[in-house]
């Protein structure tokens, strides 16, 4: 045997135990990893939320898709890694999830300024889960099967609230945060706007009620407190009267330059004195038509009609405050029974 062959043989004998040890260690680590991944999420692990949810991020937004999660006993720590926006999508099993701690870890809950929740049920919308979001400015709730806004929404300091795809029939007095300046409610079962629905939101500047196909009634004094309103969208609704717009015309803002832009072109309201009076004040800022097809066009604006001269009473809709309270109480009770608001029960 040559010296080279002898050297290689000796090296092989020395290194074989090392390779054997490394192989065994690799096998042990692989098995441990498999066993760890199979452990139930109730075991405390630093990143257990992301381990059970598909996730990705973009800039300051963290996306979580937790459609298969049934246990959630931990707060989200990953938001501490520089994110300010949480985009959470739940699924059909979300009603089984029991949140016993805040959704976002207290160490970084003050960083969160915006939250979007889709397909998350009422147990994600509680004081326990969201009460520590003290810097939240924007909240989007989509397809959460809500029949009424949970109480926590009123307590949050949000200025922008978007609600879409939920079966809620009413926005009851006291449901909305008083800090709102932007409200968008679309594709819901919304039927009417009560007199006091918007009374506690005097800072509202943008109100979008478009594409609520069951909305037929806005109380004639529903907009009385909205002195800062600049945009109103009623497209795609079935509102029968624009009488609520009369409260937006005051001696201080009777000129069309200071009145809000109103999109209501799809509505067919009565061709009455009210229609003419609104047209004389809003001018082209009101996009609407009455039942004979007339449209507001540019015209002489020097003659501002007084609403008090309208002899014919505009279409009345809505109910008294006491009746509205009963209606809200009924929908709350129904939501509890079906698990659509606050009750934590109900099926998927």
Give percent of the chain with pLDDT exceeding 90.
Answer: 42
Quickly tell me which residue has 């009924």 as its tokens: 330
Per-residue pLDDT, averaged over 125-140, amounts to 95
Give yes or no for residue 136 having a pLDDT over 70: yes
Q: For all residues of the chain together, what is the average pLDDT?
A: 79
CB 225 within 8 A of CB 198: yes
Region class of 153: left (phi > 0), else alpha (psi between -120 and 50), else beta: alpha
Res 301: pLDDT = 40
Read off the pLDDT band of 233 (50, 70, 90). very high
Residue 324 inside a domain? The answer is no
Read off the pLDDT band of 42 (50, 70, 90). very low
What is residue 221's DSSP assignment?
Answer: T
Residue 241 inside a domain? The answer is no
Interior angle at CA 254, CA 249 and CA 260, nearest 5: 65
Residue 115 inside a domain? The answer is yes
pLDDT tens digit sequence for 280-305? 888 889 888 876 655 544 443 445 66
Residue 223 inside a domain? The answer is no
Residue 99 inside a domain? The answer is yes
- Length of the chain, please? 348
Output the CA torsion sign for 162, 166, 172, 175.
negative
Res 83: pLDDT = 94
Read off the pLDDT band of 30 (50, 70, 90). low
CB 112 within 8 A of CB 81: no
Within 8 A by CB and 6+ apart from 39, the residues are 45
For strand 61-65 and strand 85-89, is the pairing parallel, antiparallel, or unpaired?
parallel
Give yes or no for residue 319 having a pLDDT over 50: yes
What is the token pair recorded at 62? 């963290």
Q: Which residue has the higher pLDDT, 112 or 303?
A: 112
**Element of type H or E holding 7:** helix 3-38
pLDDT tens digit sequence for 156-177? 999 999 999 999 999 999 999 9
Give yes or no for residue 50 having a pLDDT over 80: no
What is the token pair recorded at 109? 């809950």
Read off the pLDDT band of 345 (50, 70, 90). very low
Range of the domain at 92: 58-136
pTM: 0.78
Listed residue (281, 277, 279, 272) closest to 296, CA to CA: 279
Listed residue (299, 296, 253) closest to 278, CA to CA: 296
Residue by residue, DSSP assigns 80-133 as GTT--EEEEE--TTGGG----S-SB-TTTGGG--EEEEES--GGGSSHHHHTT-
Give yes or no for residue 256 having a pLDDT over 80: no
Res 182: pLDDT = 98
What is the token pair recorded at 74? 């931990």
Residue 102 inside a domain? The answer is yes
Read off the pLDDT band of 55 (50, 70, 90). confident
Within 8 A by CB and 6+ apart from 142, the residues are 116, 117, 118, 119, 162, 163, 164, 165, 166
**Gap between the Cα atoms of 322 and 84, Å rounded:** 42
In the chain, the number of structural domains is: 1
Residue 261 inside a domain? The answer is no
Res 123: pLDDT = 82
For strand 61-65 and strand 54-58, is the pairing parallel, antiparallel, or unpaired?
antiparallel
CB 33 within 8 A of CB 59: no
Residue 191 inside a domain? The answer is no
């Amino acid at each position: 045997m040559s010296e080279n062959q002898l050297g290689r043989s000796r090296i092989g004998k020395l290194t074989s135990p090392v390779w054997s040890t490394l192989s065994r260690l690799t096998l042990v680590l692989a098995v441990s990893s498999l066993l760890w991944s199979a452990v139930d999420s109730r075991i405390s692990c630093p990143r257990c939320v992301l381990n059970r949810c598909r996730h990705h991020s973009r800039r300051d937004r963290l996306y979580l898709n937790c459609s298969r999660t049934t246990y959630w006993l931990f707060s989200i720590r990953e938001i501490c890694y520089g994110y300010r926006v949480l985009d959470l999508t739940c699924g059909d099993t979300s009603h089984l999830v029991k949140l016993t701690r805040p959704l976002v870890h207290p160490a970084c809950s003050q960083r969160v300024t915006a939250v979007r929740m889709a397909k998350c049920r009422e147990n994600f919308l509680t004081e326990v889960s969201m009460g520590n979001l003290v810097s939240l400015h924007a909240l989007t709730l989509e397809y959460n099967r809500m029949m009424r806004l949970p109480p926590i929404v009123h307590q949050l300091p949000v200025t922008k609230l978007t609600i879409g795809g939920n079966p809620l029939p009413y926005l009851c007095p006291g449901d909305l945060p008083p800090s709102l300046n932007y409200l968008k409610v679309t594709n819901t079962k919304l039927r009417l706007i009560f007199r006091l629905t918007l009374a506690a939101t005097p800072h509202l500047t943008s109100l979008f009620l478009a594409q609520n196909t069951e909305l037929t009634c806005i109380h004639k004094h529903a907009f009385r407190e909205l002195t800062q309103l600049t945009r109103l969208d009623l497209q795609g609704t079935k509102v029968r009267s624009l009488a609520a717009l009369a409260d937006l015309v005051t001696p201080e803002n009777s000129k069309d330059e200071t009145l809000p832009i109103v999109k209501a072109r799809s509505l067919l309201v009565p061709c009455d004195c009210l229609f003419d009076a609104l047209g004389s004040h809003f001018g082209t800022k009101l996009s609407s038509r009455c039942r004979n097809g007339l449209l507001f066009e540019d015209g002489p604006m020097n003659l501002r009609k007084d609403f008090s001269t309208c002899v014919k009473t505009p279409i009345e809709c809505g109910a008294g405050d006491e009746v509205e309270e009963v209606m809200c109480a009924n929908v709350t009770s129904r939501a509890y029974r079906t698990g659509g608001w606050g009750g934590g029960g109900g099926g998927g």
